[in-house]
């Protein structure tokens, strides 16, 4: 029996939220730019936080908050990945973990490979660690995107020391295959490089593209790899501050244990409490319902774009609730998000922030109710019709 899709909270309730999504723009703008979702928390998370507030449990995060064991159980249940809890450490968020791992594994001035279009903080994090970004863009195969393994090998062969991997990939929603990840590990091992894999969207992979943790693919991946992930994207917990750094070899585990003590102490107590609840079996049904909603929404978005923005190019993501959409044919400039917000009252993320490959693109968050998604695309469609000749927008491109 299929799981019913999770329902979003009413718009009037959502507008009472004080987070970035709901306080960045006036109430007449539909916010679909930042990666926050519009659903009530999973009941076990609500219970854990309510119980903590009720007894004033708002102090420092304890030395053993239970996050390691909870994540190991989640990884085994959801992905068949056997994680040793003693190889799991925690920190405030995924990018904190990434920058500290970069500081520990590369030297100032070293080059770090990223694969644009990619999550904008990747560029900033590499710079914060004192390293230099080396771009090896994703390859567009015509049916999807994939890592340019030959390009990555060329970068490592000429001295790049690390690969900062987005797995699954943000913004394209690409789930890298086991074969691809195994070859990436082989390449990194051959050149003495490390792979730091941001796997925050892993819990949100669709049924037709199962997520593969990087560290699970081979002994070489275990030797060269670090995974950094969190419950925050799937369970909407970004403000509570908790992520995990996972290793699978003695050498990489020693590197993580050598990090300054404050890296771990940046974890918020509410972040730890909510992560333990999120990773528990009691929250599995909620996650399944969320995945059912995202499956409905990613297909609904394809239909809405075909009807209202027929010249837009969109591939349904294999993971997550973020859509990467090319609207360059509408003539809204290199960074169309501003024009769309001003003309349609819909706030989308800026494509060029993800690299030059994002020129003419926007990123849309469909982690919402179908009515909100429908309203947003209809508004943008009306704006398109008002700003371009009908002949330009009447063609229906082939859906991908």
User: For residue range 202-238, what is the model confidence (pLDDT) as tens digits?
Assistant: 999 999 999 999 999 999 999 999 999 999 999 999 9
Measured distance CA(310)–CA(304) in Å, rounded: 9
Residues 118 and 266 in one domain: yes
Helix (H) or strand (E) holding 181: helix 178-190
Residues 338 and 230 in one domain: no
**End-to-end C-alpha distance for the chain, whole angstroms:** 29
Domain housing 154: 44-283
Q: Are residues 74 and 152 in the same domain?
A: yes
Do the domain assignments include residue 271?
yes
Chosen domain end from 283, 310, 329 = 283
Residue 238: give its domain's CATH number.
Answer: 3.40.640.10
Q: Do residues 270 and 334 both lie within one domain?
A: no
Same domain, 104 and 183: yes
29 and 56 both lie in a single domain: no
Looking at the structure, do residues 378 and 246 belong to the same domain, yes or no? no
* Residue after which a domain boundary falls, among 232, 263, 283: 283
Burial of 288 by CB count in 10 Å (0-12 exposed, 13-18 middle, 19+ buried)? middle
Indicate whether 145 and 35 sit together in one domain. Answer: no
Name the E strands within 69-110: 88-91
Q: Pick the last residue of a domain from 235, 259, 283.
A: 283
% residues pLDDT > 90 (the chain): 96
From residue 286, how far is each of 31, 211, 238, 367 by CA, in Å? 24, 18, 18, 14
Query: What is the per-residue DSSP string for 122-166?
Result: HHHHHHHTT-EEEE-PPEE-SSSEE--HHHHHHHHHTT--EEEEE
Q: Measuring CA to CA, which residue among 34, 72, 395 is closest to residue 232?
A: 34
Domain of residue 30, CATH code? 3.90.1150.10
C-alpha 369/C-alpha 130 separation (Å) is 41
Report residue 72 as tokens: 């190991």
Same domain, 32 and 50: no
- Model's pTM, two decimal places? 0.96
For residue 47, how many other CB atoms are within 10 A of its CB? 13
Q: Is 29 domain-assigned? A: yes
Assess if residue 186 is contained within a domain. Answer: yes
Per residue in 23-34, pLDDT (tens digit) is: 999 999 999 999
**Residues 250, 377: one domain?**
no
Contact criterion met (CB below 8 Å) for 131 and 110:
yes
Are 151 and 217 within one domain?
yes
- Structural domain count of the chain: 2
pLDDT in tens, 312-353: 999 999 999 999 999 999 999 999 999 999 999 999 999 999
Same domain for 298 and 341? yes
| pLDDT score recorded for residue 399 | 33
């Amino acid at each position: 029996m299929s799981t019913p899709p999770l329902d979003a909270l009413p718009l009037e309730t959502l507008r009472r939220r004080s987070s970035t999504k709901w306080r960045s723009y006036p109430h007449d703008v539909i916010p679909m730019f930042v990666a926050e979702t519009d659903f009530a928390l999973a009941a076990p998370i609500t219970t854990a936080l309510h119980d903590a507030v009720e007894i004033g449990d708002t102090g420092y995060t304890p030395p053993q908050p239970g996050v390691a064991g909870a994540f190991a159980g989640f990884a085994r249940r959801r992905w068949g990945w056997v994680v040793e809890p003693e190889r799991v450490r925690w920190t405030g968020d995924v990018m904190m973990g990434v920058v500290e791992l970069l500081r520990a594994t590369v030297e100032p001035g070293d080059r770090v490979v990223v694969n644009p279009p990619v999550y904008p903080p990747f560029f900033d994090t590499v710079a914060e660690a004192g390293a230099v970004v080396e771009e090896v863009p994703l390859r567009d195969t015509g049916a999807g995107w994939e890592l340019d393994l030959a390009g990555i090998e060329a970068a490592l062969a000429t001295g790049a020391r690390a690969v900062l991997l987005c797995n699954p990939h943000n913004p394209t929603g690409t789930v890298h295959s086991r074969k691809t990840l195994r070859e990436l590990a082989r390449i990194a091992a051959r050149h003495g490089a490390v792979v730091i894999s941001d796997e925050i969207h892993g819990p949100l992979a669709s049924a037709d593209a199962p997520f593969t943790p990087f560290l699970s693919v081979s002994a070489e991946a275990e030797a060269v790899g670090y995974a950094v992930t969190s419950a925050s994207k799937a369970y909407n917990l970004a403000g509570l501050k908790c992520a995990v750094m996972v290793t699978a070899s003695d050498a990489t585990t020693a590197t993580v244990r050598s990090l300054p003590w404050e890296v771990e102490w940046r974890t918020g107590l509410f972040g730890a409490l909510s992560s333990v609840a999120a990773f528990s079996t009691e929250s599995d049904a909620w996650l399944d319902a969320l995945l059912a909603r995202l499956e409905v929404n990613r297909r609904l978005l394809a239909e809405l774009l075909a009807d209202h923005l027929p010249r837009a190019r969109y591939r349904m993501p294999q993971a997550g609730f973020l859509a990467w959409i090319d609207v360059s044919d509408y003539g809204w400039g290199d960074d169309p998000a501003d024009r769309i917000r001003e003309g349609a009252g819909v706030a989308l993320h800026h494509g060029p922030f993800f690299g030059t490959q994002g020129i003419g693109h926007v990123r849309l968050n469909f982690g919402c109710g179908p009515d909100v998604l429908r309203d947003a695309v209809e508004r943008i469609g009306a704006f398109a019709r008002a700003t371009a000749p009908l002949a330009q927008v009447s063609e229906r491109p082939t859906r991908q």
